[in-house]
């Protein structure tokens, strides 16, 4: 812009001869937009309600309920049949539990509860026993679980498979001459299982055999493996137990007899069984 043009613009611009009113800010607060300003003025003009009782009196629900009923607890009339009884309630939960324990629970419940259930079971079955109950009465069985051995499942499982199905005396001989380290622990457990079966179940050691044998994983121990340059590796040492079920030769004979009877009841196999032909026609199907 040249100097002449700038001089002309300064001379020709309009001069401001008046200032804005000083009350413009106060006037803007009272502007009414579609009636909004009136509501604010009414809210400011009303005194605030701070009392809760006054707020409850203004509630429509309280006004409606005030004329219908009165929230006052009544008592018992003199002519009532419950007039002589006490209307007091236990103050705390502990008092109520003590009251129920003394007056409701039978102290001799453990003595008559199981005989009652057993008698009801006999009535339902009419004195008949299941096959499992009959076998438990006629055949002897003993379960023995060992303590945790410091070995793994991978090392103890082959030993359990080795002694399964053998007589208890033969299994003891196998463990005595076994080269495995865990065999010594299994040998001690077989001795203890044989003695327990004789004392508790009156089983004959010469007729006793190991019907089942399995292993169970236990917890892990911790040890340190010192390496070069001051490094240390943490080792997890497994613990495993072995469980055996001892039965007598009578059970083995019964199982063999049942298998033979099942085989005899089975129908003979036929390569072309004689059955009626269905859906045969003289025309091709493709």
Q: What is the pLDDT of residues 86-127, one digit of tens each?
A: 545 545 555 555 555 555 666 777 777 888 888 888 888 888
Q: Write down the pLDDT at residue 23.
A: 46
Q: Write down the pLDDT at residue 2.
A: 60
Does the pLDDT value for residue 42 go beyond 70?
no
Q: Write down the pLDDT at residue 274.
A: 82
* Stretch 205-210: mean pLDDT: 96
* Stretch 230-258: mean pLDDT: 96
Q: What is the rounded distance in angstroms from the CA atom of residue 172 to the CA atom of residue 177? A: 9
Q: Buried b / exposed e across 101-125, counting CB within 10 Å, b at 16+?
A: eeeeeeeeeeeeeeeeeeeeeeeee
Q: Where are the domains of the chain?
A: 143-250
Sign of CA dihedral 65, 71, 76, 82: positive
Q: Which CATH number fits domain 143-250: 3.40.50.300, 3.90.470.10, 3.30.360.10, 3.30.470.10?
A: 3.90.470.10
Which tens digit of pLDDT belongs to each residue from 73-89?
Answer: 556 666 666 655 554 55
Q: Are the C-beta atoms of residues 249 and 139 closer than 8 Å to each other?
A: no
Q: Are the C-beta atoms of residues 139 and 251 closer than 8 Å to each other?
A: yes
3-state secondary structure of 29: helix
Question: Burial, 148: exposed, middle or buried (Cβ in 10 Å; 0-12, 13-18, 19+)?
Answer: middle
Read off the pLDDT band of 26 (50, 70, 90).
very low
Q: Write down the pLDDT at residue 10.
A: 58
Does the pLDDT value for residue 6 go beyond 60?
no
Q: Write down the pLDDT at residue 27.
A: 46
Q: Buried b / exposed e across 79-95, counting CB within 10 Å, b at 16+?
A: eeeeeeeeeeeeeeeee
């Amino acid at each position: 812009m040249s100097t002449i043009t700038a001089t002309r613009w300064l001379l020709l611009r309009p001069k401001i001869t008046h200032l804005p009113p000083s009350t413009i800010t106060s006037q803007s607060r009272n502007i009414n937009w579609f009636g909004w300003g009136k509501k604010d003025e009414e809210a400011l003009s009303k005194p605030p309600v701070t009392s809760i009782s006054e707020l409850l009196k203004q509630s429509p629900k309280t006004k409606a309920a005030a004329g219908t009923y009165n929230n006052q607890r009544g008592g018992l009339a003199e002519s009532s049949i419950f007039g002589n009884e006490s209307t007091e309630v236990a103050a705390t939960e502990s008092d109520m539990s003590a009251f129920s324990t003394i007056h409701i629970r039978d102290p001799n419940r453990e003595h008559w509860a199981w005989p009652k259930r057993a008698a009801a079971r006999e009535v339902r079955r009419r004195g008949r026993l299941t096959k499992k109950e009959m076998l438990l009465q006629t055949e002897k069985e003993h379960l023995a679980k060992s303590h945790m051995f410091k070995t793994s499942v991978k090392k103890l499982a082959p030993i359990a498979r080795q002694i399964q199905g053998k007589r208890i005396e033969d299994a003891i001989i196998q463990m005595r001459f076994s080269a495995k380290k865990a065999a010594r622990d299994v040998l001690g457990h077989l001795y203890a299982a044989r003695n327990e079966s004789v004392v508790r179940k009156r089983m004959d050691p010469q007729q006793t055999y190991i019907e089942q044998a399995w292993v169970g994983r236990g917890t892990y121990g911790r040890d340190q493996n010192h390496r070069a340059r001051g490094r240390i590796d943490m080792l997890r040492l497994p613990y495993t137990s072995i469980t055996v079920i001892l039965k007598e030769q009578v059970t083995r004979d019964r199982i063999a007899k049942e298998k033979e009877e099942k085989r005899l009841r089975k129908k003979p196999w036929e390569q072309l069984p004689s059955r009626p032909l269905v859906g045969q026609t003289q025309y091709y199907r493709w």
